[in-house]
């Protein structure tokens, strides 16, 4: 896997195999999750799934940044309690993550539940002389960490030259960053040896990673926009405190771009993930994400998602056709193509072993489907079964769910359609029929709730 720290591909051997300790930087929950978040977490999902396929046992921790400047500011703007806002957005994140078929982490620690660990880590840095306290907070002294810049390959001199006029005059250097911020009037706070305040963003991740995974972990992941300063600072404060490497492999995903810009609330370009997932088949969204290598930037467009749905439909049709064929009576042997399948698996595994090359792996799936469609005429039942299993399991390894059997191909839109019809029935006072629809859906595990704003479904 490609390690941002060394800028090269390295063989992955965890510290204590088969255990892999993996920390994924989670969302800061001042806003709803956007579709760019989903790309990042599909990437970590693929890393975890592939390592699991290769026999590792991944311990996966993904934090929730439920207190930081952005959360505090947003709550203030909305006149809401920051905890309520954070939990609302965190819940929507979990919902989207589940819809996307992202495997759940072992634990989703919240920063607000780790204030004690954070204070202890900051104290350790202060005691070691790597941090100092001022009127505005506690700061990490980057002059005490000579390796500063090793992840982002930035030189301290250049950074200082590039830094804007120092806003906070209490800091020794404009690059020193806050570990603890003193609370201003009306802001949430916790008691600490440095007065009432709240943690800085970077220290939260270090404290949670160490608490749940130990001082040195195997893989730390996040979007490439986190390399500097977030991950650089995580390394500085963690390694200064422990004297040990913080993370051995740093993996970063390219960003999902919109009209050439980064998708984030600050650019004004923001597409809520849930909106996309209710309009497009989640597996198609995943397929589109995986069609670009995780380290490359990617342009978001609805046209691509539509193409993804078409491609997914062709996959499912092929699998269904093979399923039907496999149940046919054995005819004359139409050539047992096990060599093809062995080659397919070899190429698939080679591609995934080479820094998770999902576009190549998916390219192999497309070729296999093409071969199947060309040779379907003379395929016997057992060959069809072999191809079907190969296709189905390769898609499953990539996290695609074969849900068409349970719920239909384009579940969300199909359900919206059913609800529309049911609404018409209700308007015409045909409540018997409307209730029957609800009962039948309920048996399939779909709950319909009638609200004043209309009916909503939940799987």
Binding-site ranges for Zn ion (CB under 5 A): 25, 205
Is the CB of 245 or the CB of 323 nearer to Zn ion? 245
Is the CB of 25 or the CB of 85 nearer to Zn ion? 25
Q: Which residues contact 287 (CB under 8 A, 6 or more apart)?
A: 308, 311, 312, 362, 400
Is the CB of 106 or the CB of 299 nearer to Zn ion? 106
Task: Write down the least CB distance from residue 104 to Zn ion, Å.
Answer: 19
Is the CB of 232 or the CB of 281 nearer to Zn ion? 232
Task: Write down the least CB distance from residue 150 to Zn ion, Å.
Answer: 17
Task: Write down the least CB distance from residue 205 to Zn ion, Å.
Answer: 3
Closest to 302 measured CA to CA, from 281, 326, 323: 281
Q: How far apart are CA 137 and CA 358, in angstroms?
A: 45
Q: Are the C-beta atoms of 99 and 41 separated by less than 8 Å? A: no
Task: Write down the least CB distance from residue 277 to Zn ion, Å.
Answer: 24
Is the CB of 205 or the CB of 236 nearer to Zn ion? 205
DSSP-derived secondary structure for 148-215: TTTTTT--HHHHHHHSPSPS-TTSSSTT-EEEEEEPPTTS--B--TT-SEEE-HHHHHHHHHHHHH-S
Q: How far apart are CA 204 and CA 208, in angstroms?
A: 6
Q: Are the C-beta atoms of 85 and 78 separated by less than 8 Å? A: yes
Q: Which residues contact 9 (CB under 8 A, 6 or more apart)?
A: 1, 2, 3, 354, 355
Is the CB of 25 or the CB of 235 nearer to Zn ion? 25
In angstroms, how far is the first alpha carbon of the chain from the final one?
A: 36
Task: Write down the least CB distance from residue 297 to Zn ion, Å.
Answer: 20
Is the CB of 25 or the CB of 175 nearer to Zn ion? 25
Task: Write down the least CB distance from residue 25 to Zn ion, Å.
Answer: 3
Task: Write down the least CB distance from residue 41 to Zn ion, Å.
Answer: 13
Task: Write down the least CB distance from residue 238 to Zn ion, Å.
Answer: 11
Q: What torsion do the CA atoms of 300, 303, 305, 309 make, to the nearest 10 degrees?
A: -170
Q: Are the C-beta atoms of 231 and 151 separated by less than 8 Å? A: yes
DSSP-derived secondary structure for 393-456: HHHHHTT---THHHH-TTHHHHHHHHHHHHHHHHHTT-HHHHHHHHHHHHHTT-EEEEETTEEE
Task: Write down the least CB distance from residue 458 to Zn ion, Å.
Answer: 31
Is the CB of 31 or the CB of 309 nearer to Zn ion? 31
Is the CB of 25 or the CB of 43 nearer to Zn ion? 25
For residue 304, the tally of other CB atoms under 10 A from its CB is 19
Give the CA distances from residue 77 to residues 38, 85, 165, 277, 368, in Å, rounded to whole numbers and listed in that order: 26, 11, 27, 28, 54
Is the CB of 205 or the CB of 210 nearer to Zn ion? 205
Beta strands 217-223 and 197-199, pairing class: unpaired
Task: Write down the least CB distance from residue 234 to Zn ion, Å.
Answer: 6
Range 377-393 burial, b when 16+ CB lie within 10 A, else e: eebbbebbbbbbebbbe
């Amino acid at each position: 896997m490609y390690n941002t720290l060394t800028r090269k591909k390295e063989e992955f051997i965890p510290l204590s195999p088969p255990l892999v300790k993996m920390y994924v930087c989670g969302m800061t929950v001042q806003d709803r999750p956007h579709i760019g978040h989903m790309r990042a977490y599909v990437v970590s999902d693929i890393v975890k799934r592939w390592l699991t396929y290769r026999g590792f046992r991944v311990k996966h921790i993904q934090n929730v940044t439920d207190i930081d400047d952005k959360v505090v500011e947003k709550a203030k703007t909305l006149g809401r309690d920051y905890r309520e806002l954070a939990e609302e957005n965190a819940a929507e994140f979990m919902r989207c993550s589940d819809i996307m078929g992202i495997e759940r982490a072992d634990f989703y620690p919240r920063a607000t539940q780790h204030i004690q660990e954070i204070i202890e880590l900051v104290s350790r840095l202060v005691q070691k002389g790597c941090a100092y306290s001022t009127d505005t907070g506690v700061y990490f002294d980057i002059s005490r960490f000579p390796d500063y810049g090793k992840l982002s390959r930035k030189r301290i001199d250049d950074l200082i030259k590039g830094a804007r006029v120092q806003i906070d005059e209490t800091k020794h250097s404009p690059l020193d960053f806050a570990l603890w911020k003193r609370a201003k009037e009306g802001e949430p706070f916790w008691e600490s040896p440095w007065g009432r305040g709240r943690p800085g963003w970077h220290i939260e991740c270090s404290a949670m990673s160490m608490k749940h995974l130990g001082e040195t972990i195997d893989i730390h992941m996040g979007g490439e926009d986190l390399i500097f300063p977030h991950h650089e600072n995580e390394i500085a404060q963690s390694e200064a405190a422990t004297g040990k490497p913080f993370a051995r492999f740093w993996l970063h995903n390219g960003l999902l771009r919109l009209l050439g810009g980064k998708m984030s609330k600050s650019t004004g370009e923001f597409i809520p993930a849930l909106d996309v997932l209710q309009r497009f088949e989640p597996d198609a969204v995943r397929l589109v994400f995986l069609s670009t290598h995780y380290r490359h930037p990617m342009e978001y467009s609805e046209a691509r998602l539509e193409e993804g749905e078409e491609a997914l439909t062709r996959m499912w049709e092929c699998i269904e056709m093979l399923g039907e064929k496999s149940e046919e009576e054995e005819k004359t042997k139409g050539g047992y193509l096990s060599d093809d399948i062995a080659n397919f698996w070899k190429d698939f595994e080679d591609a995934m072993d080479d820094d998770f090359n999902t576009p190549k792996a998916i390219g192999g799936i497309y070729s296999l489907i093409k071969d199947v469609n060309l040779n379907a005429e003379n395929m016997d039942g057992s060959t069809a079964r072999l191809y079907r299993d190969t296709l189905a399991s390769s898609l499953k390894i990539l996290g695609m769910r074969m849900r068409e059997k349970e719920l239909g191909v384009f579940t969300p839109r199909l359900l919206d359609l059913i609800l529309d019809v049911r609404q018409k029935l209700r308007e015409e006072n045909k409540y018997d029929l409307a209730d029957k629809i609800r009962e039948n859906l309920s048996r399939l595990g779909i709950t319909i709730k009638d609200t004043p704003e209309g009916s909503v479904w939940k799987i």
